[in-house]
Structure 1
């Protein structure tokens, strides 16, 4: 008697014999990743390598032990912080008018905001030189109206640098604010007035908290951009008001000290990242506080 055995076939899952396949969307981001790696990550790593000759930290030690470098770093952060506060303070009512002022107001304010934005940064900085110099339009107007007897020193001062930087950074601060404010329903303000709150109290308790994400986004953008300003402080400021970007350019172009210039650039990047992280932490804390207040 012959014994027969029946082989039972084990079901094989479809695709189990196939190799691992990357999702099609991955290939869409490959060009961007390669571009960033080649033109952003690699130059940054090269910059760090130049700042560490033979692994030595001598340039970083020089930066943090030399008073002039510390003063320039402190001046950079001081001016950037002032510029950020002034820019956001001006951008807030401007964005409010754009968001809630009607189509005609929105059109006029948008044109007034974007036309200077399309002009070269160098040309805008030179225009402030023409306006703020001793024989410029501002001093001529003040003298003609009898407000002053002799020209004020408006150029080659921190005041001139702040004015020029605020003017250039204003569009970057207005647009994030406008995007957030456009989504805020003004009927919430009407509801607060029905509940007995004054306009100012309703604005402080209702509208402003809702606009805080836009305020934080504008402040982060303005501050990080202000830290790296070079052209405007060079044209409107004095050597005493030098910012770190000017010092980096001087080390590369004039002193030909590439190692120290690279170290200063790395320090600027690290400090900018720290400032960006602090802004993010403050923003997260405010959001958490808002959620707790809403739950309560």
Structure 2
């Protein structure tokens, strides 16, 4: 009994690798990259924060008022910055989504220009604007609104202004993507039914834009938690955020274990915040479905 050449080729190629889905080979490079350059360093960071399995660094963090104050300040500033950024980004994205082509072009160019300027240079530009002899104070004095310069730099207000300016493009883009898909004829239909523009916006347009608001808020909040350069340049030591403290532990104190523990704490607290956000969003969706059934 003889075996044909085709049968031999099929028996050779029909190995374990041939039974793997082609989709696996498409995602394998990305998975390998994330495992080597994200998962492994993350596990290494956790290992450094637990020398010999000891929790001493975490005990130090949660029993020292300075660390607790910095963590609380980080989340407080991040939440304020997120709220202000989304509030400014919403009408900006609305104008981009439903304005004329000329309006879209101008607003898009204005939105993308900051991406061409380095973060460090943008932060330094706010020093020029916010200092006591800066353009903002000079304008307010010339307009007769104030008699003496207002302290804007080295304050929480200066940090918030600088962070909002940097995060604004990231917040606008998710909102614009969602708003572009909303049909304004729904607003026209609500006006025909007797609803005012404000009532139609609150009952129809805004709920439909909530996915964009959520995506924008999550992105802005995530980036704000890790800010380092802007708070360091525009804020004071009292306004220190956790990223500055982590950098100080690594670069100045050379306390790698404590710096790694602070980084792990930041990641865990961020994950918990997102979990709470997800739970609140699910609860609101369930409440809306129940109202719809009633």
2:152 counterpart of 1:154 = yes
2:249 counterpart of 1:251 = yes
Larger Rg: 1
Deviations 1:152-211 (A, max 9, x none): 100000000000000000011100000000000001011111111111111000000000
2:46 counterpart of 1:45 = no
> In structure 2, do the counterparts of structure 1 residues 106 and 291 end up closer, same or farther at CA, with 3 Å as the change threshold?
farther
Aligned residues of 1:216 and 1:279 also touching (Cα < 8 A): no
Q: Give the structure 2 partner of residue 125 of structure 1.
A: 123
| Mapped partners of 1:169, 1:269: distance in 2 | 20
Calculate the TM-score normalised by the size of structure 1. 0.92
| Mapped partners of 2:104, 2:280: distance in 1 | 31
Q: Give the structure 2 partner of residue 114 of structure 1.
A: 112
1 or 2, which has the higher helix percentage?
Answer: 2
Q: Give the structure 2 partner of residue 185 of structure 1.
A: 183
Residue 184 of structure 1 aligns to a residue whose secondary structure is coil
Unaligned runs of 5+ in 2: 1-9
Report the CA distance between 1:88 and its aligned residue.
0.4
Q: Give the structure 2 partner of residue 26 of structure 1.
A: 24
Calculate the TM-score normalised by the size of structure 2. 0.93
Q: Give the structure 2 partner of residue 73 of structure 1.
A: 71
Report the CA distance between 1:285 and its aligned residue.
2.9
Aligned residues of 1:224 and 1:276 also touching (Cα < 8 A): no
Aligned residues of 1:251 and 1:260 also touching (Cα < 8 A): yes
Report the CA distance between 1:18 and its aligned residue.
4.8
Aligned residues of 1:75 and 1:243 also touching (Cα < 8 A): yes
Alignment of 1:92-241 (within 5 A): 92-241=90-239
Report the CA distance between 1:115 and its aligned residue.
0.3
Residue 183 of structure 1 aligns to a residue whose secondary structure is coil
Deviations 1:110-146 (A, max 9, x none): 1111101221111111110110001110011111111
| Mapped partners of 2:194, 2:144: distance in 1 | 48
Report the CA distance between 1:19 and its aligned residue.
4.7
Unaligned runs of 5+ in 1: 1-13
